[in-house]
Amino acid sequence: MFFERPESGEIAVLVHIDFHDSDDNHGPEEFVELALSAGADPVAVVTGSRQRPDSRFFVGTGKLDEIKDIVIREEAQVVLFDHALSPSQERNLESVLNCRVLDRTGLILDIFAQRARTHEGKLQVELAQLQHMSTRLIRGWTHLERQKGGIGMRGPGETQLETDRRLLRERIKSIQKRLAKVNSQRDQSRRARSRSDVPTVSLVGYTNAGKSTLFNRATGADVYAADQLFATLDPTLRRLDLEQVGTIVLADTVGFIRKLPHRLVKAFQATLKESAESDLLLHVVDAADVNRDENIADVDIVLEEIGANELPILKVFNKIDAMPTGEPRIDRDEHGNPVRVWVSARDGVGIDLLEQAIAELLSEDVVKETIVVPVEQGRFRAMLFEQGGVKNETYNELGQSVLELCLPRKDYLQILARVGMSEEQVQAA
């Protein structure tokens, strides 16, 4: 296997095992990308197959000897497993291999720690790391592990291991309180947007599907985007004006991945809630990826886990520039509603079709009419402007305002009620 090796990084040996009774057997290609994203320098990928994991070493003794030979030959500093290891398996492997051993969860946590930029993102990653670490405390302080009796033999009131656990618990509680405060602030922002009837559209999808590039292309933002796994962790919100709908909020969120650690999903609940409470989800898919169907299924699993699987979803098949016959288009269902849009975020191709599809899906309950407002109904006209529902204004030969409207029907009906009018009393242009 060819590796695009980084200029520097820890020398790593990768281990990927297929299990006969598992439906979740994938190749090691994605795991190699994960290792490279973490800054590792992978020198070998050890593969194999088993009926089930070994309780002591996860792999069999023959495979363990093979890994050890490679570690010694390559002078590897870390062995990465594309699986979840138990704390005892990690310790047993480290004692035999004489180097650090990290499982898939630990590797993803390390990548998240490198990518987090905001205060909230760093807190979320630290929480997940501490929760993961709390199950892996090693009894290194053996001289303090037991309280001994007799004069001069009495140990401290609590062992070092208990002290470490207590400090971890206190730190976890502290972070959870701070994240609860951040979550409360996000809830306030969501409620404010809900009161003003500004629709929220969230980008979700498999990591490295091009969400941030699409976000930048649509909003003109400058969110970090790179061809690597988990380039973006921290949620970013930007306003976007659509001609047929008005102002919406577009949210860029963390990417998903196969076997995303449950602790990370839980730690990022505040961030993922942005997706769960959106009016529309844009599921961004790497259209050129040979595993795109599997990736779609993995994202659906995470959406179900965060309670967002019942929301309206528009699939955005991105990276058509990498396909031999990729053309921008909108695919519709039997009722004529958009279900898929094919675009290239990198080249900006099909973005107009994406905006059209979003507008169609969000404008089902939007008033888009042109009305005539007589001079004596100046209060009605003023309130429509205050609500931001007037897209254009002209005047007819009688000097009356001719307003081109685009606003949520709920807001329109509220304005009519406040001025004591009905929809039938409004004069159409």
Concatenated DSSP letters of 30-87: HHHHHHHHTT-EEEEEEEEEESS-BTTTBS-HHHHHHHHHHHHHHT-SEEEESSPPPH
Question: Where do the DSSP E strands lie in 134-288?
Answer: 200-205, 236-242, 246-252, 280-286
Determine which helix (DSSP H) or strand (DSSP E) holds 230, and give its type and residue range: none
Tokens for 82, please give them. Answer: 């594309």
Q: Is 344 annotated as a binding residue?
A: yes
Yes or no: say if 159 and 118 are a contact pair by the CB < 8 Å rule.
no
Cα–Cα distance measured from residue 34 to residue 250, given in angstroms and rounded to the nearest whole number: 28
**Closest to 185 in 3D by CA, of 120, 255, 101:** 120
Which residues are CB-contacts of 332 (< 8 A; sequence separation ≥ 6)? Answer: 338, 339
Residue 392 annotated as part of some ligand binding site? no
- Residue 347 annotated as binding site: no
Q: Is 368 annotated as a binding residue?
A: no
Is 331 annotated to bind ligand?
A: no
Hey, which bits of 180-307 come out as E strands?
200-205, 236-242, 246-252, 280-286
- Report CA-CA distances (Å) from 382 to 136, 241, 387, 397: 64, 21, 9, 21
Q: How many CB atoms sit inside 10 A of residue 144's CB? A: 16
230 annotated binding-site participant: yes
| Annotated binding-site residue? 8 | no
- What pairs with residue 101 in β-bridges? 79
Say whether 69 counts as a known binding-site residue. no
Is residue 12 marked as binding? no
Q: How far apart are CA 80 and CA 82, in angstroms?
A: 7
Residue 241, annotated as binding a ligand:
no
295 annotated binding-site participant: no
252 annotated ligand binder:
yes
231 has binding-site annotation? yes
Q: Nearest CA to 275 among 297, 303, 301, 233?
A: 303
345 among annotated binding-site residues: yes
Task: Please check if 318 is assigned to a binding site.
Answer: yes
* DSSP secondary structure letter of residue 137: -
Find out whether 357 is annotated in a ligand binding site.
no
Q: Is 209 annotated as a binding residue?
A: yes
Residue 395, annotated ligand binder?
no
273 labeled part of a ligand binding site: no
Q: Which residues does 24 contact at the CB level (< 8 Å), separation at least 6?
A: 258, 259
Q: Is 234 annotated for ligand binding?
A: yes
Q: Is 320 annotated as a binding residue?
A: yes
293 annotated ligand binder: no
Rg (CA), the chain: 28
Is 98 among the annotated ligand-binding positions?
A: no
Number of H helices, E strands in the chain: 13, 17
Residue 291 annotated as lining a ligand binding site:
no
Spatial contact of 403 and 384, defined as CB atoms under 8 Å apart: yes
Annotated binding site: 205-212, 230-234, 252-255, 318-321, 344-346
Annotated binding site for Mg(2+): 212, 232
Annotated binding site for GTP: 205-212, 230-234, 252-255, 318-321, 344-346
